[in-house]
Amino acid sequence: MSATATATTALPIATGNWKIDTIHSHVGFAVKHMVVSTFRGRFEDYAGSLATSEDGRPVLQGSVKVDSILVKDENLAGHLKSPDFFDSERHPEIRFSSTAVAVAEDGGLEVEGDLTIKGHTHRVTARGSITGPHVDIAGNDKLGVELEAIVDRREYGLEWNAPLPKGGFALDNDVKLEVSLELVREA
């Protein structure tokens, strides 16, 4: 995809204010463990919007409650909330705010922005697609946004790991953030 090359910051398909419909959205992550297996988790409590700023630029922002992390194993969820990982007691929220949104003619989407996890803020680039607007059966204007970004969890202070008995490490450092959003136009 070459979103940057054909980018337009005017984003004509998404002017106005759009709010994430959390019933139909997904905010999650995937990380390799035991060298070859992939583990996925998600967050249940989050909010966000795509809005047009005063200068006409689109801004995508959102926040996630760390304690809403959902994984299959209760003990693992507890470990992920602990200081080894997110330290949700001291850092209850993950935040993202875009600095640049670029849409290609083919719907390719590139979003650059600041991601804050556990008190660490870093610039990330997420790539994916945007579809719509589309009027749903209830008469609402909707946009679909898919984004993925890969981050090194150690940059955000999520440093836990353990060497495996036969070589390699328990958990990969690269984590894929997977966001699938349905946005509804605000009246």
Partner 1 sequence: MRILGLSGSLRRDSHNTSLLRGAGKLLPAGVELEVFDRLAQIPPYSEDLEHETPPAVAALRAAIAGADAVLVATPEYNASIPGALKNALDWVSRPIATTPLRDKPVAVVGASTGLFGAVWAQAELRKVLATIGARVIDRELPIGQADEALGPDGLPVERDVVEQLSATLDELLELTAPSRLAA
Binding site for partner 1 (CB under 8 A): 33-34, 37, 39, 72-73, 75-76, 162, 164-166, 170
**Residue with Cβ nearer partner 1 (72 or 90):** 72
Nearer Cβ to partner 1 (35/47): 35
- Nearest distance in Å: CB 76, partner 1: 6
- Find, among 45, 51, 47, the residue nearest to 62 by Cα: 47
Nearest residue (CB) to partner 1, 37 versus 53: 37
For the chain, count helices (H), then strands (E): 1, 11
Residue number with CB closer to partner 1 (44 or 73) = 73
Of the pair 39, 112, the CB lying nearest partner 1 is at: 39
Find the shortest distance in angstroms from Cβ 168 to partner 1.
Answer: 11
Cβ 164 to partner 1, closest distance in Å?
6
Q: Which residues contact 148 (CB under 8 A, 6 or more apart)?
A: 126, 127, 128, 176, 177, 178, 179
CA 157 to mean position of chain CA atoms: 18
Tokens of 103: 């849409």
Measured between alpha carbons, how far is 36 from 31 in angstroms, rounded to an integer?
Answer: 10
Min separation Cβ 34 and partner 1, Å: 6
Provide the minimum distance between the beta carbon of 52 and partner 1 in the complex, in angstroms, as a whole number: 42
Residue 80 is inside which H or E element, if any? helix 74-81
Place of tokens 């979003």: 111
Please tell me the distance from the alpha carbon of residue 101 to that of residue 50, in angstroms, as a whole number: 10
